[in-house]
Structure 1
Amino acid sequence: MKKIPIVFSIDHNYVMQAGVCILSLLNSSNEEEFYNIYILGANDITNEDKNLLQQIIQVYYAQITFITMDDRFDNVFEIRGVSKSTYFRLMIPDLLPSYDKIIYSDVDVIFQSGLGDVLNIDLGNNYLGGIKAIGAENIKDYIKSLGLQVDKYINAGFLLINASLQRKDNLFNEFKRHLNKQYQFQDQDIINIVCKDRLTFLPLKYCFTQKSYELYYTNPKRLFSVFSPKEVEEAFTEGIIHYEGTNKPWNGFCYRYDNWWRYYKKSVFYSEEMHFQTAYKIQYPTWTLKKILRLLRNFIRGDYKQ
C-alpha cells in the first residue's frame, strides 16, 4: 500500500471546506493508496472541529494528525480576507522531518482522482513543483515588479514540496525575510520569489482553476498557449477542481459548483439551512458595484473574447 503524505492548513472558518475536500480525495482514490493527512491548524480549531474531521475518514484508508501552529505568523501581512493560516505551508518541511516529498493542497478544491502518481514526479534540484498560474497575464506588471517572469509564476494552491532539499538549504530562513512585506498574493508571492528558477511545472490536472475552465469556453487559444490539449483533457476528466478567487460554491453560484455540493451533501457538515440560503443567493443574486466593476474589468482585459 502506497502511503501518501498530504497537508492542509486551515483555521476554524475553513473546517467544513477541509472536510468536504478530504471526503472528495478519499472517495476518488483507490484501495492501494493510504493517506497520511496533516492539518496545520490555527489555535481556534476546536475539539469538535477535530472530531468532525475524524468522522470523515472513518471508512477510508487514512489517518489525520492535527498540528496546532504557534503564534509566529500572528503579525504577518493579510489582505482580501485571507487568513494567516495560508502562511503555514511555508513551514511544512520542518514540521514533518521524516518525509522527503510532501503534497500540499488548499481546501477550496474537489478531487476527481487519487494522488498516487504525484510523488513519482522528479523534482531534481528544484525546491517544489506547482502549476503555472493561468491568470498571471492579468497581473503581469505586478509580477514583473517582483523580479519574476510571468510564464514562470505558479499558483500555490497545490504544491509538491521537495522537503529534504528545503531542509538542507534552510529555506524557511529565506521565507521569513519576506513575511512582513505587503505582497498582493502573500505567501504565493513569497514562494515564487524565494524559489525563483528552482520550480518544476506540474500538469494542469493538479490545479484546474475556475479561470482555466472559463478560458476553455471563452478564450481557448489563451489556455492552449500555456497547456497542451492533452493536459487540458486530463484536467477536465480527473483534475483537481480549484475554486480560487472570491466565487465559492458554498456562497453562491460559480463554475462547477455542483461538484462541490455533491460531496457537501454526503458529509457530516451538511446543513439544510445553508443549502437553502445558498440556493436563494443563486436565484436572487445581489449586484453590487464591486461585482459590476469586476465584470467590466474582465471584459476589458479580454477574458470574454472568443
Structure 2
Amino acid sequence: MLVTEKSPIVIVGCADDNYSMPLATTMSSVIANVSSQRQVVICIIADKITQANKNKILKSLKKPNVIIEWLIPDYAKLTNAIISRHITIASYYRILIPELLPEKYQKAIYLDSDVIVKANIEKLWDTEIADNYVLAVRDMDIDATYVSSSKGLQNYQQLGIAPDCKYFNGGVLVINVEKWRRDNLSQEIINYISNNQQYIRWHDQDAMNAVIAGKWSELDPRWNSQAVIHSYSSWKETSLTEEMYNNVINDSYIVHFSSSAKPWKLGCKHPNRMLFFQYIDLTAWAGWRITFIRKLWLKVKDMMKKKGISFSQA
C-alpha cells in the first residue's frame, strides 16, 4: 500500500444527530493539534443529522487545510445490527468505512465521537500498517484483554481462536482500507453479526475482533486511553507494564470517554472531562456547558429515553 509523505490524512467519524456536537469536538481536537501545512480530509458518515447541525459541524471544522466529505451509509446492510438504548445503528457504520470511502483513499483513521485527540495525529497516520487489517489498542478492561477473558468473545473456542489472542477496542482504528476492500471484510463482518447474534455482547466490536483475530497489530496504548484505566489503583491491576500504565495516565495521546458517562451528560467523573469543554470552545457550540436548566432537561431526556422516546442534542 503506497502512502506518500504528502498524502492527506483521512479521518473518519460516525454520528447521528445526538452526536453532532461531540463529533465536531473530536474533529476540532484533531485539527487543533495537526500541522497547519498538512491536508486533512474528514469523512463523516451521517445518520439523520439536521441541516442546522450539519451547518454547525461545517462551521466548526472550516480551516484552509481541511476538506469535509459526507458519506451516506447503506442501511440495508445493517438490518441485523443489534441496537439498544446506548448503542444506535450509527455505531455500526465503521464496518462500512472501506466501502463508503472514495476509491482513491487506501488508508484511514477511524475515531469514535467520544474521544479527544491531544497529540499530532500525523504520528499515528505515519505508523506502518504493513499487512494488517487494522492497528488498534488492546481493550484496557482487564476482563476484556483477551478473546478468552470474561468480557471477550463468548464463542472464541468454536471459532478456533487461540485463548491468548488479544481483544482490541474499536474506538481508535488505523484501517488498511485497500486490504479490507480487497478481502471484502465488511461483508464478512456483517455475516458474522447475522450468524452469531446469540454470542454478541459488544456489538460490532465483537464482530470485528472475531473476524480480524490475529490479523491486527497493537498500537502504543496512549493512542486510546480508555476510561476504565482510571478505575484501577495501580498498574499491577492492569494488563500494562508500569511504564505503559504511567504513560497512559499522565501522557495519553487520545483520551477516550469510553464509559456511558460522557462529559456532555450527567454524572461524568472522568479526570480529564474538562478537556472536552476546552475543545468544544473551538466549535460552533462554543460556551456549551451543563447549566442548571440543562441538567433538568437532561434528566427529562433520560426519563423519556427509558420510555423509548429520543431527542436531538440540546
TM-score, length-scaled by structure 2: 0.80
CA contact (8 A) 1:9 1:39 kept: yes
CA contact (8 A) 1:132 1:151 kept: no
Worse-matched range after superposition: 20-29 or 233-242 = 233-242
Identity of aligned residues (%): 22
1:157 to 171, 181, 199: 171
The aligned residue for residue 19 of structure 1 is: 24
Q: Distance in 2 between matches of 1:208 and 1:3?
A: 25
CA contact (8 A) 1:38 1:65 kept: yes
The aligned residue for residue 118 of structure 1 is: 124
The aligned residue for residue 308 of structure 2 is: none
Alpha-carbon spacing, 1:28–1:238, altered in 2? closer, same or farther (3 Å):
farther
Q: Distance in 2 between matches of 1:232 and 1:2?
A: 33
Greater share of helix residues, 1 or 2? 1
Gaps of 5+ in 1: 282-306
Partner of 1:17, secondary structure, is helix
The aligned residue for residue 201 of structure 1 is: 218
Partner of 1:152, secondary structure, is coil
Q: How does 1:78-97 map to 2 (within 5 A)?
A: 78-96=83-101, 97=103
1:64 and 2:57 are equivalent in the alignment? no
Q: Aligned-residue CA RMSD in angstroms? A: 2.6
Q: Distance in 2 between matches of 1:127 and 1:15?
A: 28
The aligned residue for residue 184 of structure 1 is: 201
The aligned residue for residue 187 of structure 2 is: 173
CA contact (8 A) 2:143 2:151 kept: no
Partner of 1:98, secondary structure, is coil
CA contact (8 A) 2:153 2:210 kept: no
Q: Distance in 2 between matches of 1:203 and 1:29?
A: 19
Alpha-carbon spacing, 1:130–1:238, altered in 2? closer, same or farther (3 Å):
same
2:59 to 32, 35, 55: 55
Q: How does 1:1-306 map to 2 (within 5 A)?
A: 3-42=8-47, 44-59=48-63, 61-72=65-76, 73-96=78-101, 97-137=103-143, 140-147=149-156, 149=163, 152-180=166-194, 181-182=197-198, 183-215=200-232, 218-223=233-238, 225-227=239-241, 229=243, 232-233=246-247, 236-252=250-266, 253-255=268-270, 256-270=272-286, 274-277=290-293
Q: Which ranges of 4 or more aligned residues in structure 1 deviate by more than 3 Å?
A: 148-151, 270-281
Q: Distance in 1 between matches of 2:286 and 2:63?
A: 18
TM-score, length-scaled by structure 1: 0.82
Q: Distance in 1 between matches of 2:164 and 2:293?
A: 39
Question: How many residues are matched?
Answer: 279
